[in-house]
Structure 1
């Protein structure tokens, strides 16, 4: 079955961000996310999951262990388990990107409250 943001599970995260589960299995997660201008996710790490962030449109700043990397469309960044990280939209436009996780991050996210 073809999947896209109109026929998959949608969820809200943070104050105003969106996510769509394109693939949702225990071994693999592919999520398309949309972060409005000026939004920031909570800094966290994963015990098991390796993640790959891939920008579709806009610019995404990824902070990983204190190092900031700006990603433009069609650029990506891999994040190994146990690495503190945070996605940030520091621009005045929306950013759309894919988050690919292996295995899934369900129950694998650790953050300081």
Structure 2
């Protein structure tokens, strides 16, 4: 299989079901990905994702810049640049931005709209 190299600047942004704006860096839409996905997410200051969970995907968030508050199953923590957050599959979660917030999101298995639940 040939090497896959995708540049973030070449990826078009879109809004996920939870309300964040992301650019997919590597996923099934732009690479021969099988077991995970990587995206950059952005939330403007004062905004938050809709509280949700994923039945299948475990997620990692890595905060690149900005500051916010992460909530997982009712537990809240302030987060900022350099913080890595584990979101186990099935856990309710929401992130809110106190400053413009940029973070990387890795999902395994790969992110799918159909695996985002609100009720």
Q: TM-score, normalised by structure 2?
A: 0.82
Instruction: Tell me the CA shift for residue 19 of structure 1.
Output: 0.7
Once the two structures are superposed, what CA deviation does each residue of 1:65-98 show, in whole Å capped at 9, x if it has no partner? 0001121111111011111001111x2x311000
* Structure 2 residues not aligned, in runs of 5+: 29-33
Aligned to 2:49: 41
1:42-72 deviations in Å (ceiling 9; x for gaps):
1111111100010000013110000011211
Of 7, 10, 13, the match for 1:10: 13
Structure in which a larger fraction of residues adopt strand: 1
Alpha-carbon distance in 1 for matches of 2:21, 2:73 = 25
Matching of residues 45-60 of structure 1 within 5 Å: 45-60=53-68
CA positional deviation for 1:4? 3.2
Distance 1:4 1:87 in 2: 25
User: Structure 1 residue 109 and structure 2 residue 113: aligned?
Assistant: no
1:34-113 to structure 2, matched below 5 A, reads: 34-89=42-97, 91=98, 93-106=99-112, 107-112=114-119
Counterpart CA distance in 1 for 2:95 and 2:75 is 12
Query: What runs of 5+ residues in structure 1 fail to find an aligned partner?
Result: none
The CA RMSD measured in Å over matched residues stands at 1.5
1:28 corresponds to 2:31: no
Structure with bigger helix share is: 2
